[in-house]
């Protein structure tokens, strides 16, 4: 399973979770298998500073292969896209 964490920095698991899903500068991607973290990757949010077009950020997360997202907050439209 891949978990995407909205992040304020590029420090991976030592970083700070962002208060807002779409406006964070980075996403930390954690690959978890059998309850253990197997790999960590940090990617830039290409839509940082703007939300881009409606649905672009959830689509970006989906393209990263994430099945779970952790963020301090998320708007109702983004939640709808994930559902």
Length of the chain as a residue count: 83
Tell me the pLDDT tens digit for each residue of 28-77.
Answer: 999 999 999 999 999 999 999 776 678 888 999 999 999 999 998 888 88
Is 0.75 surpassed by the pTM of this model? yes
Pick from 9-13, 18-22, 36-40: least confident: 18-22
Closest by Cα among 1, 10, 14, 23 to 71: 23
- Can you give the pLDDT at residue 74? 86
pLDDT recorded at residue 20: 86
Q: How many Cβ atoms from other residues are within 10 Å of residue 69's Cβ?
A: 19
Domain 2-82, CATH class in plain words: alpha beta
């Amino acid at each position: 399973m891949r978990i995407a964490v909205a992040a304020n920095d590029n420090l991976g698991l030592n970083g700070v979770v962002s208060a807002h899903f779409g406006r964070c500068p980075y996403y930390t991607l954690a690959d978890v298998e059998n309850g253990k973290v197997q790999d960590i990757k940090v990617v830039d949010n290409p839509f940082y500073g703007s939300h881009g077009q409606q649905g672009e950020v959830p689509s970006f997360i989906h393209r990263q292969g994430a099945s779970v997202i952790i963020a301090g907050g998320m708007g109702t439209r983004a939640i709808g896209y994930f559902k």
